[in-house]
Amino acid sequence: MIFQDPYASLDPRMTVGDIIGEAIDIHKLMGAKEREERIQYLLNRVGLNSEHASRYPHEFSGGQRQRIGIARALAVQPEFIICDEPISALDVSIQAQVVNMLEDLQSDLGLTYLFIAHDLSMVKHISNRVGVMYLGKLVELAESNELYTKPLHPYTQALLSAIPIPDPDESAKKKRIVLEGEIPSPIDPPPGCRFKNRCRYAKPICSEQEPVFKDMGGGHFVACHLY
């Protein structure tokens, strides 16, 4: 897993080498020499250098710390990595570097990422398939291009309408869907559809029955009584 906060997710009392090597030790994957070599390799792979292994997290910038977090996630040669908002705590100037590195690692090492993010432009850039969640439930799932061009769920439509457009003329033409209504408590969700008090298409059945997650064809799933 790669965590959101590169400050809180690295133990300040451990050296970078021990942070990266910890999972190798826990799983007893390799001997001391091989472990050292693997740590050096991983540091180089994420754009740091071998000398950094003996330093402590406070000696690094936010972007470098996130690189250490990525090296740690790669230490046990995973096939699947959960990236929990891995760039949202970084400066915008660093975000692109880290995303490009994640993409290079993905193609070189054949990784699968579950990439959790709120930045919809970034989600579009990095994802093959996108799942949209509302109040802890998946409401829509589709190939990235399909979801961005033909969103079905009213919540997805509202989210996509909020993506800023850098061209002022284009932006003025775009109609934004503004959601109203309170967000219900996720620990005590209302019966029926969880989105019903903010949905402009809500009808009586939405308060009575929770919509099932339906396959609309071509791997496009949606949970909504409109379909």
Minimum CB–partner distance for residue 31 and ligand SF4 (Å):
56
State how far the Cα of 86 lies from the Cα of 101, in Å rounded to an integer.
12
Binds ligand SF4 (CB under 6 A): choice among 17, 199, 220, 221 = 199
Verify binding: residue 221, ligand SF4, rule CB under 6 A: no
Q: Which residues pair with 214 in a beta bridge?
A: 222
Give the count of alpha carbons within 13 A of 169, CB side only.
Answer: 0
> CB of residue 142 vs ligand SF4: minimum separation in angstroms?
16
Residue 107: φ, ψ to 5°: -75, -35
Q: Is 141 in the site for ligand SF4 (CB under 6 A)?
A: no
- The residue (of 183 and 226) whose beta carbon lies closer to ligand SF4 is 226
| φ/ψ (deg, to 5) at 114 | -105, 105
- Look at the block and give the residue holding tokens 């979801």: 147
One residue of 3, 60, 113, 195 binding ligand SF4 per CB under 6 A: 195
Length of the chain: 227
Residue from 38, 52, 65, 225 binding ligand SF4 (CB under 6 A): 225
Closer to ligand SF4 at the Cβ: 69 or 211?
211
Q: Which long-range contacts (CB under 8 A, 24 or more apart) does 21-30 make?
A: 21/75, 22/72, 22/75, 23/72, 23/75, 23/76, 24/75, 24/76, 27/76, 29/76
Stretch that binds ligand SF4, among 64-72, 75-83, 162-170, 197-205 (CB under 6 A): 197-205
Q: Does 193 bind ligand SF4 (CB under 6 A)?
A: yes
Q: Which residues bind ligand SF4 (CB under 6 A)?
A: 153-154, 193, 195-196, 199, 201-202, 206, 211, 224-226
